[in-house]
Amino acid sequence: MEQVLYISKPGNLKYFRKDFTRLYFGQEFCQRLIPTMEQLEEVLLFSEKENLHFTFVTPYVTNQGLQRLEELIGFLAEKKKDAEIVFNDWGVFQFIREEFGSLVPVMGRLLNKSKRGPRIMNILDKVPDETRDFYRGSNLDVPAVGRFLKQQGIYRVEFDNLLQGLSLENADREIHKSIYMPFVFVSTTRFCLSSSCDSTGMTDYVGITDCKRECQKYTFDLDNPAMGLPLFRKGNTVFFLNEKTPEKVLNSSVDRVVIEPEIPV
Note the pLDDT tens digit of each residue in 58-98: 999 999 999 999 999 999 999 998 999 999 999 999 999 99
25-34, 57-66, 204-213, 218-227: which has the minimum mean pLDDT? Answer: 204-213
CA distance 176 to 192: 33
Mean pLDDT of the chain: 90
* Residues constituting the chain: 265
Instruction: Report percent pLDDT > 90 for the chain.
Output: 61
The full set of domains in the chain, from first to last, is 2-186+239-259 (3.20.20)
CA distance 66 to 175: 27
User: 235 to each of 41, 60, 84, 143, 213, how far by Cα in Å?
Assistant: 25, 15, 26, 35, 8
CA distance 60 to 151: 22
Contact 72, 35 (CB under 8 A): yes
Query: Is it the case that residue 165 has pLDDT exceeding 90?
Result: no
| DSSP H stretches of helix in 214-258 | 247-252
Give me the pLDDT at residue 120, please.
86
pTM value surpassing 0.85:
yes
Q: How confident is the model at residue 210 (pLDDT cuts 50, 70, 90)?
A: confident
Give me the pLDDT at residue 86, please.
98
Q: How confident is the model at residue 207 (pLDDT cuts 50, 70, 90)?
A: low
